[in-house]
Amino acid sequence: MSETTTTNTTRGQLTAINDDYTARYGFHDPEDYFLKAPKGLNHEVVEMISRKKNEPDWMRAVRHAALDTFRAKPMPRWGDNESLDSIDFENIHYYIKPKGEQATDWNDVPDQIKKTFDRLGIPEAERKFLAGVTAQYESEVVYHSIREDLTKLGVIFMDMDSALREHPEIVRKWFGKIIPTGDNKFSALNTAVWSGGSFIYVPKGVKVDIPLQAYFRINAENMGQFERTLIIADEDSSVHYIEGCTAPTYSSDSLHSAVVELVAMDRAHIRYTTIQNWSVNVYNLVTKRAHAYTDSVVEWVDGNLGSKLTMKYPAIVLKGERAHGEVLSIAFAGHGQHQDAGAKMTHAAPNTTSRIISKSISKDDGRSSYRGLVRVNRGATGCKTSVECDALLIGENAISDTYPTMDVAESDVRVEHEARVSKVGEEQLFYLQSRGLDPDKARLMIVNGFIEPFVKELPMEYAVELNRLIELEMEGSVG
């Protein structure tokens, strides 16, 4: 087994990865839209989006102000500058509305779009194990459903645009309160041109025991998708929300920039699971933050595959005593990809606890960065936090870096921090090979083992799906 053979195999796999993504997720429908905004970002586009949606004046004002904020804010300079600077904001469609009205029955969804979601397995998943689904295609949610018993209990699950119409008071109360417009350049961009996304309200004491899911699909070339999600779990309630996303493979870039705001009231429990699998031409720049009140629990379970550049640091502000926050994430960076992901945890109340587990895999010339901030505010006594970063490198050119920051203003805080970088070990490979496993299979087994602590947090169906995605990334062929 010489060095050269190994390299050749890897190269062979690389081509195969793209082939496979294209077949499974990277396909696209012919473009047939009700409305497609011309490329470019300006006040006319913002105005047009808001008018088409028949929005109240306050929202329109928020959007315009946000565009100014976006323009005024410089690009962040602490990340992958080269990649960020290559985004051409004038070469993006900021709003595309597919044909047809939002449906509550898959049969009412336009054929082509229904076929796409069929192919992605969404209706099937809904039948099998979901309590509610929204499916977003380009800028708009084209399908939405929620189990009737949940509606009777007062649970609201709909797209954000509908929520603005039907529950204006709740939306106005919370919109942009967790993540203000000017939080960062991309939250400002999202606020200016947002469309779609999910709105969830779970009333006091209601436990939604089966996950709600949203699926985000980009279809057009040079598309910008800017969904906006707001989840409010009232006192003593609980909810598990799952989002998935894919896009076609194009040679030119698309942009996905979401804002997700969560509020967990006293004793509420929110788990937010993401399995993103963008094609490698998508910039994925997402802002996610939660406010966690007394005795509440918020968990971000974040799986980042695909995309050209992902920058995402799910945040939790532990605002009430004994609130608990967790960010559990994996990132897989293959050829030409940079996963810049991490977590932000702010202990703003006494006796709050948090845990961050970040696992990254870099393969070929892929790069994974962990960027994390744990802050313990003055007055937040008796807090506990642990951070664990694990990086796995496959191949000689793979890159991993970690930027952990701790900012602790109190003295009686228990802080644990662990960071490890390992290579897919020659001894592990040899051990598995000596039992008859070929090198590809052996490597896949080691990688799947590495992410097992993440996978076992997923509902079974998603665990299976994720293992399959990893297999796709590793082998380039799925049985």
Instruction: Tell me which residues touch other proteins (CB under 8 A).
Output: 1, 425-428, 430-439, 441-442, 445-446, 448-453
Q: How far is the CB of 359 from other proteins (least distance, A)?
A: 10
Phi-psi sector, 77: left (phi>0), alpha (psi -120 to 50), beta: alpha
Question: Which residue lies nearer to other proteins by CB, 123 or 439?
Answer: 439
Q: With respect to other proteins, which residue has the nearer C-beta, 411 or 434?
A: 434
- Closer residue to other proteins, CB minimum distance, 77 or 435: 435
By beta-carbon proximity to other proteins, the closer residue of 13 and 310 is 13
Q: What's the min distance (Å) between Cβ of 395 and other proteins? A: 15
State in angstroms the smallest separation of the CB of 389 from other proteins. Answer: 15
Instruction: Give the nearest distance from C-beta 355 to other proteins in angstroms.
Output: 18
* Shortest Cβ 441–other proteins spacing (Å): 7
Question: Please, which residue, 218 or 455, has the CB nearer to other proteins?
Answer: 455
With beta carbons less than 8 A apart as the criterion, state whether 249 and 22 touch: yes
Nearer to other proteins, 30 or 479 (CB): 479
Q: Which is nearer to other proteins, 345 or 432 (CB)?
A: 432
Supply φ then ψ for residue 468, to 5 degrees: -70, -40
Q: Which is nearer to other proteins, 58 or 430 (CB)?
A: 430
- Which CB sits closer to other proteins, 91 or 467? 467
Tell me the closest approach of the beta carbon of residue 330 to other proteins, in angstroms.
12
Min separation Cβ 388 and other proteins, Å? 13
CA 399 centroid distance within chain: 22
Give the residue among 118, 467, 80 at the shortest CA–CA distance from 307: 80
CB-neighbour burial class of residue 315 (10 A; exposed 0-12, middle 13-18, buried 19+): buried
In the complex, minimum distance from the CB of residue 310 to other proteins, in angstroms, rounded to a whole number: 23
Instruction: Name which of 10 and 279 has its Cβ closer to other proteins.
Output: 10
Cα(415)–Cα(437) distance, rounded to whole angstroms?
41
Q: Give the nearest distance from C-beta 10 to other proteins in angstroms.
A: 15
Q: How far is the CB of 124 from other proteins (least distance, A)?
A: 24
Query: Residue 344 pairs with which residues in a beta bridge?
Result: 315, 373
3-state secondary structure the chain: CCHHHHHHHHHHHHHHHHHHHHHHCCCCCCCCEEEECCECCCHHHHHHHHHHCCCCHHHHHHHHHHHHHHHHCCCCCCCCHHHHHCCCHHHCECCEEECCCCECCHHHCCHHHHHHHHHCCHHHHHHHHCCEEEEEECCEEEEEEECHHHHHCCCEEEEHHHHHHHCHHHHHHHCCCCCCHHHCHHHHHHHHHCCCCEEEEECCCCECCCCEEEEEECCCCCEEECCEEEEEECCCCEEEEEEEEECCCCCCCEEECCEEEEEECCCCEEEEEEEEEECCCEEEEEEEEEEECCCCEEEEEEEEEECCEEEECCEEEECCCCCEEEEEEEEEECCCCEEEEEEEEEECCCCCEEEEEEEEEEECCCEEEEEEEEEECCCCCCCEEEEEEEEEEECCCCEEEEEEEEEECCCCCEEEEEEEEEECCHHHHHHHHCCCCCHHHHHHHHHHHHHHHHHCCCCHHHHHHHHHHHHHHHHCCCC
CB-based contact 129:211 (threshold 8 Å)? yes
Q: Of the two residues 79 and 439, which places its CB atom closer to other proteins in the complex?
A: 439
Nearer of residues 91 and 428 to other proteins, judged by Cβ: 428
Least spacing, CB of residue 107 vs other proteins, in Å = 38
Going by DSSP bridges, is the β-strand pair 238-246/269-278 parallel, antiparallel, or unpaired? parallel
Question: Closest approach of Cβ 385 to other proteins, in Å?
Answer: 23
